[in-house]
């Protein structure tokens, strides 16, 4: 059986490697030596987790409980652990320092993975003490290097500086021999979003298994996304002839899975958010009678009132009050919501991903009975740009984001995980002549002055270089924040402060922030112009100068997006070339 020490040693090496290719090769070499369930478990552990996002794999242990476990494991006082933590800033490093026994019997991957699952499953009365006991016990058995990474995984702070795309590349090399299958592996991962399951299948059966992955109940697929267009007339160029314009809602993307009486709701980031929306779950039971179905939609803070059934839409930030652990029922009353469905992906055992959009919409309308909470996205099917513009203006009058234009062609399949040209978005900012909105990752902050003293004055934000799987700086954002925004952002990034530039972030000396932030949180930024910049690194290289965003303005926090869903350098370059 493979030893956890093998993973710990690779983790240690990866922290020191900056080369994309070398990281992928090192991971591939390790996976070549694993078998069966070890492959599955290791795939999760490499991402600092013990399962796919849709299974909510957090262990429920914070720094306070981990600190107690370390003290118990190594026979020291909690005060000593606190002092060392204050100095190192990393409880994993503290465990490494305190583990004086040195060499011992190494743990297996299965030992560690099973114990982490036990910690997660400890719930109810006395669960905190049980979690502390379980963690303390395995730390006593672990070697120093093992203990360090067990702690970091437990706390969700593995911080190796790469995401799941590195693993997919490594799988292609390890299980298919080279990268020629990488495209198909990525497509399969958009449908089979359980990276452990995908890895184990590839290890057992090779790339021939890729054709067998399909959508299934309880395992969400990655959302299909809309492409951007630069000018309104481009809608006709990209989607000629008949097209469907749908209202675009400023809410939370949701994928609903109904399997008999069991109903699950998954976010765009594939997290299970069922418990946050009991009103939607109950409405689905009453208004969607079909037994097995998966539907795609958007949850919004919404009220329909008055004799004329006036619709009132509230912004995304208000909706986020519903994302809470406690007082869920209370906020169901305080903040009513509706879900607007616009696609159907699975029906009574059959995948609909390869069916054209017109057929999917027709099936959706057949299966969904509208009510106050359950709605169908409003749309206009037409060949006329004038009618689409009128529909767009009506959407703005309702204070919506804009519209999404969808192809009515026979090849308009649902492209899971892709930003597809079958869907195009046109938002209010475009109509006002604004340049564009960008979803950017916070990688640093600059100290504030005056009213913002004690918080940040500006944020250093980066775009995703998808090819290199790294984050390159694109702009410094210092306007658009309210005091409440600044406080909320400070809270969000407080757990992601690091002492030096993260290795998956590229920053030039002239742009160095006062505080470095590991790529974790995304904000939406509005800008007026993309220019070449010697100060920023977005798109720099191969004879190209870096790109920067002029006149940036903060719009909102993107809680529904992770760092690897940020605007890409390629998208920015294409936007600049079109202007």
- Judge whether 23 lies within some domain: no
Q: What is the pLDDT of residue 333?
A: 79
Q: What is the pLDDT of residue 550?
A: 86
The stretches of 177-291 forming alpha helices (DSSP H) are: 182-191, 195-205, 234-238, 278-287
CB-count burial class (<10 Å; 0-12, 13-18, 19+) for 52: buried
Q: Whole-model pTM?
A: 0.88
Q: What is the pLDDT of residue 308?
A: 54
Helix (H) or strand (E) holding 502: none
- Structural contact between residues 534 and 469, judged by C-beta atoms closer than 8 angstroms: no
Domain boundary among 431, 450, 485: 431
Instruction: Give the count of beta carbons closer than 10 Å to the beta carbon of residue 310.
Output: 10
Instruction: Give the CATH number of the domain where residue 447 resides.
Output: 2.40.50.140
CA torsion angle for 31, 32, 36, 41 (degrees, to 10)? -10
- Judge whether 173 lies within some domain: no
Residue with tokens 């492409």: 227
Q: What is the pLDDT of residue 177?
A: 85
Residue ranges making up the domain that contains 281: 225-431
If the chain, 579 residues long, is cut into consecutive pieces of 10 residues, what is the mean pLDDT of each piece? 93 92 95 93 96 94 95 95 93 92 76 97 94 96 95 93 93 91 94 96 89 93 93 91 95 96 96 94 94 97 68 82 79 87 97 98 96 94 93 88 95 96 88 75 88 81 95 94 91 93 94 95 92 93 88 91 94 84
| CA angle (446, 451, 529) in 5-degree steps | 55
Q: What is the pLDDT of residue 427?
A: 85
Domain boundary among 431, 453, 477: 431
Q: Of 87, 82, 52, 61, give the one whose Cα is nearest residue 157.
A: 61
- Judge whether 49 lies within some domain: no
Instruction: Give the count of beta carbons closer than 10 Å to the beta carbon of residue 323.
Output: 16
Q: What is the pLDDT of residue 231?
A: 84
Q: Quote the CA–CA distance of 242 and 235 in Å, as a whole number.
A: 11
Q: How many domains does the chain have?
A: 2
370 and 344 fall within a common domain? yes
Residue 553 main-chain phi, psi, to 5 deg: -145, 130
383 and 517 fall within a common domain? no
- Residues acting as catalytic residues: 248
Q: What is the pLDDT of residue 557?
A: 94
HEC sequence for 350-372: EECCCCCHHHHHHHHHHHCCCCC
Domain boundary among 387, 413, 431: 431
């Amino acid at each position: 059986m493979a030893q956890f020490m093998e993973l710990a040693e690779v983790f240690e090496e990866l922290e020191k490697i900056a080369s994309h290719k070398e990281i992928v090769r090192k991971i591939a070499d390790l996976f070549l030596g694993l078998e069966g369930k070890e492959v599955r478990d290791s795939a999760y552990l490499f991402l600092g987790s013990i399962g796919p996002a849709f299974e909510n794999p957090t262990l429920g242990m914070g720094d306070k409980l981990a600190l107690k476990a370390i003290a118990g494991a190594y026979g020291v006082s909690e005060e000593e652990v606190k002092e060392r933590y204050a100095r190192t800033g990393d409880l994993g490093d503290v465990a490494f320092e305190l583990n004086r026994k040195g060499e011992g019997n190494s743990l297996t991957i299965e030992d560690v993975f099973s114990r982490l699952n036990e910690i997660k499953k400890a719930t109810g009365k006395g669960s905190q003490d049980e979690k502390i006991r379980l963690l303390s016990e395995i730390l006593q058995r672990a070697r120093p290097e093992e203990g360090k990474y067990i702690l970091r995984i437990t706390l969700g702070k593995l911080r190796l500086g790469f995401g799941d795309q590195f693993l997919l590349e490594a799988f292609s090399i390890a299980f298919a021999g080279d990268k020629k299958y990488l495209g198909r592996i990525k497509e399969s991962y958009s449908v089979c979003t359980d990276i452990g399951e995908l890895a184990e299948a590839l290890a057992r059966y090779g790339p021939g298994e890729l054709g067998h992955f399909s959508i299934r109940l309880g395992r969400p697929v990655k959302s299909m996304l809309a492409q951007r267009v630069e000018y309104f007339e481009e809608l006709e160029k990209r989607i000629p002839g008949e097209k469907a314009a749908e209202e675009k809602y400023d809410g939370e993307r949701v994928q609903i899975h109904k399997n008999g009486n069991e109903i699950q709701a998954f976010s765009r980031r594939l997290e299970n958010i069922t418990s946050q929306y009991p009103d939607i779950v109950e409405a689905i039971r009453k208004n969607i009678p079909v037994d097995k179905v998966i539907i795609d939609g958007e949850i919004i803070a919404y009220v329909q009132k008055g004799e004329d059934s006036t619709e009132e839409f509230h912004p995304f930030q208000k909706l986020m009050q519903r994302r809470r652990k406690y007082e869920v029922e209370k906020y169901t009353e305080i903040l009513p919501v509706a879900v607007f469905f616009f696609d159907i992906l699975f029906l009574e055992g059959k995948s609909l991903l390869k069916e054209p959009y017109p057929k999917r919409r027709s099936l959706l309308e057949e299966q969904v009975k509208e009510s106050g909470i359950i709605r169908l996205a409003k749309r206009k099917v037409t060949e006329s740009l004038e009618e689409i513009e009128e529909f767009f203006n009506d959407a703005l009058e309702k204070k919506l984001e804009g519209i999404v234009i969808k192809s009515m062609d026979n090849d308009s399949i649902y492209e899971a995980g892709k930003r597809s040209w079958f869907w195009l978005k046109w938002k209010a900012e475009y109509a006002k002549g604004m340049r564009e909105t960008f979803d950017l990752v916070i990688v640093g902050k600059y100290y504030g002055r005056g009213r913002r003293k004690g918080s940040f004055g500006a944020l250093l934000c980066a775009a995703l270089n998808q090819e290199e799987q790294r984050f390159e700086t694109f702009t410094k954002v210092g306007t658009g924040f309210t005091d409440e925004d600044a406080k909320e952002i400070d809270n969000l990034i407080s757990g992601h402060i690091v002492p030096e530039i993260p290795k998956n972030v590229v920053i030039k000396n002239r742009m160095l922030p006062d505080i470095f932030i590991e790529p974790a949180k995304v904000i939406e930024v509005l800008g007026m112009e993309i220019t070449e910049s010697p100060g920023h690194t977005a798109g720099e290289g191969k004879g190209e100068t870096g790109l920067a965003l002029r006149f940036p303005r903060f719009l909102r926090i993107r809680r529904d997006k992770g760092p690897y869903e940020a605007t890409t350098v390629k998208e920015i370059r294409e936007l600049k070339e079109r202007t």
